[in-house]
Chains A and B, each alone.
Chain A
Amino acid sequence: MSSFIGDWHALAILFVAGVIPNQIWRMLGLWFGGGIDENSELLVWVRAVATAILAGIIAQIVVQPPGALASVPDWLRYGAVAAGFVAFMLARKSIFAGVIVGEIVMLSGKYWPG
C-alpha cells in the first residue's frame, strides 16, 4: 500500500501545486457565472498565455524528454512531431491521425537503425 501512495509529502504538494490552483477557477466560475463575456479582451489575452504555456510544456517534453523518451534521438522526436502535424492537417485536423502517424514514425525510426 505504501508504494501505491508513495510519500504523503508528494500528495500534499499535489494539492498545493495542482488541485487548489486549478479548482479555484472552476469555483469562481460557479460563483460568478453570468456577466462574463467569453470574447472579452482580457480573456483573449488569458487564453493566449494559457495556450503558450501549454505549448511550452509540449516543447519541454520533446526537447528535454523524461525517462525512456530520452533514448530516442533528437531528430527522430522532432521528425515524429512534424510528420504527425502533416497528417493532422491532411486529415482535416484529426487528432487521432496526427497521434498515430507521429507514433508510427517515431517507433519505426527507432526500430530501423536497430
Chain B
Amino acid sequence: MALPPLDSPQWQTSFRAFLWGARSIGATVLTLVLFATYLGIGALAHDSGFSLGWTLASTAFVWAGPAQIIVITTLGSGATVLQSAIAVTVSAIRLFPMVVSVLPMMRTEDTKRRHLILVAHLTAVTLWVECFRFLPQVPRNRRIAFIHGLGCGLVSVCLIANTIGYTLAANLTPLLAAGMLMLTPLAFLFSTARNCRELADVIALVLGLLLFPLAAMLNSGVDILVSGVVAGTIAYGVHRARAGIVKASA
C-alpha cells in the first residue's frame, strides 16, 4: 500500500490522516508478529488464571508486550505485587528513549504537550520502528493524527488477537494450546535478538537466558530481577572493557 503524495488533498483533514494511519497496519509485517505475540499473551493469561477483561485491559492500558508478560508470569507464579512492579519498571525504561526520539518527528510550532499524550502512550517497539519508516511520507501537520490512527489500529489488532488466543486456549486440545503458549517465548526471543544493536545487548540476551535457571535455584522470589541485573551488568562491563581496549589500542 502506498501513501498519497505529500501535497495530496487526502491529507487535508486530520480524520483522513487518521484513516490512512489505521490502514497502514496492513502495510507492515510487524502487524503479523504483533498478532502472533498477542495471541500467545491471550493464551498465557488464560492458563495463568486471569480473566479476559483483565487481559484486554492490560493490552489497552499497558501496551507493552514485555511488561504484560512480566505481570502475567510473575503474578501468575505467586510473586508479590512489589516484585512485579519493580521488574516492569526496569523493563519499561526502554520506552523513555523511544518516546524522546519519536516526539520531535511530529512536533510543530503549535503542538502542545497534551496533544502528544496519546502518541506517548501508543509508543512501543513496533510503533517506534514504523514512525521512522512512515512519517517522512506524511505531512508534518498531519503526523499526530496519522500515528493516532496507526497506533489505534495496532491496539485493535492486538485486542482481537488476545480474545482469539484466550478463547482458543480455553477450548483447544492440550497440544494446540501448548503451541499457542509457545508463541510468546519464540516471538519475544527472536524480536529481541533482532533488536540487538550492540555487543552488550547480545551478551545480555544470552546471559539472561542462561542465568535465569541458576537464579531460579535460589528461589528468592525475585529470581527474574537477580538474573536480569547480574546478566545486564556483566554485559555492560564487557561493553566498557571492550571500549577501553579499543581506546587503548587507538
Q: By the criterion CB–CB under 8 Å, are A18 and B181 in contact?
A: no
Interface segment, one of B7-15, B49-57, B146-154: B49-57
The residue in chain A whose Cβ has the minimal distance to the Cβ of B32 is: A96
Q: Is B84 located at the chain interface by the 8 A CB criterion?
A: yes
Most interface-central of B48, B179, B235 (chain A CB within 10 A)? B179
**CA gap between A99 and B36 in the complex, in Å:** 9
Q: By the criterion CB–CB under 8 Å, are A44 and B200 in contact?
A: yes
Also in contact, A10 and B193, with CB within 8 A (given A29-B98, A49-B229, A68-B177): no
Which residue from B88, B99, B201, B227 sits with its C-beta under 8 Å from A18?
Answer: B88
Residues of chain B lying within 8 A (CB to CB) of residue A60: 73, 77, 212, 216, 223-224
The residue in chain B whose Cβ has the minimal distance to the Cβ of A17 is: B84
Return A106 CB to nearest CB of chain B, in Å: 6
The residue in chain A whose Cβ has the minimal distance to the Cβ of B63 is: A22
Q: By the criterion CB–CB under 8 Å, are A11 and B54 in contact?
A: yes
Also in contact, A88 and B190, with CB within 8 A (given A48-B204, A61-B181, A61-B184): yes
What is the size category of the interface that chain A forms with chain B? 35 or more
Residues of chain B lying within 8 A (CB to CB) of residue A72: 178, 182
Return A85 CB to nearest CB of chain B, in Å: 7
**CA gap between A6 and B51 in the complex, in Å:** 5
Q: Is B47 located at the chain interface by the 8 A CB criterion?
A: yes
Report which A residues bind B (CB closer than 8 A). Answer: 3-6, 10-11, 13-34, 36, 38, 41, 43-69, 71-72, 77, 80-81, 84-85, 88, 93, 95-96, 98-99, 102-103, 106-107, 110-111
The residue in chain A whose Cβ has the minimal distance to the Cβ of B60 is: A19
What is the size category of the interface that chain B forms with chain A? 35 or more
Chain A interface, >50% SS class: helix
Residues of chain A lying within 8 A (CB to CB) of residue B100: 29, 32-34, 36, 38
Q: Is B64 located at the chain interface by the 8 A CB criterion?
A: yes
Which residue from A51, A65, A95 sits with its C-beta under 8 Å from B190?
Answer: A95
Residues of chain B lying within 8 A (CB to CB) of residue A61: 44, 69, 73, 181, 184-185
Which residue from B88, B186, B216 sits with its C-beta under 8 Å from A22?
Answer: B88
Q: Is B90 located at the chain interface by the 8 A CB criterion?
A: yes
Q: By the criterion CB–CB under 8 Å, are A18 and B76 in contact?
A: no
**CA gap between A28 and B89 in the complex, in Å:** 13
Q: Is B132 located at the chain interface by the 8 A CB criterion?
A: no
Binary contact track B175-208/A, C-beta < 8 Å → 1, others 0: 1111101111111111111101010110111111
Q: By the criterion CB–CB under 8 Å, are A56 and B99 in contact?
A: no
Which residue from A5, A18, A38, A102 sits with its C-beta under 8 Å from B67?
Answer: A18
Binary contact track B80-120/A, C-beta < 8 Å → 1, others 0: 01001111111111111111110110000000010011001
